[in-house]
Amino acid sequence: MKVKVRYFASLRDKIGRSDEQVSFDGASATVSDLWTKVSNIPASDSILVAVNMEYTNMNHKLKDGDEVAFFPPVTGG
């Protein structure tokens, strides 16, 4: 299974990448599994996640081809 991962704002700076492709050997993985694979930052309320541009949480089960985005709380408007 392969997913596209994107990082925004301060998380992009901390991780040092804006996007990447990540592959998993098994057929199932959660957002939490992905976060552990791509980062050594502990998961917290100040890290938001979206899968295919919809807000979700760390327990979300990923599918092949998903676009996953990690970012800090939003500050627009």
Distance CA 28, CA 18 (A): 24
Instruction: Please report, as a single letter, which amino acid is at residue 60.
Output: H
* Contact range with another protein by CB under 8 A, out of 22-30, 33-41, 55-63: 55-63
Among residues 77, 71, 9, 75, which one has the least CA distance to residue 35? Answer: 71
Question: 66 is written with which tokens?
Answer: 């998903």
x/- map, 3-42, another protein, by CB under 8 A: ---x-xxx--x-----------------------------
Contact set with another protein (CB under 8 A): 6, 8-10, 13, 45-46, 48-50, 53, 55-57, 69, 71-77
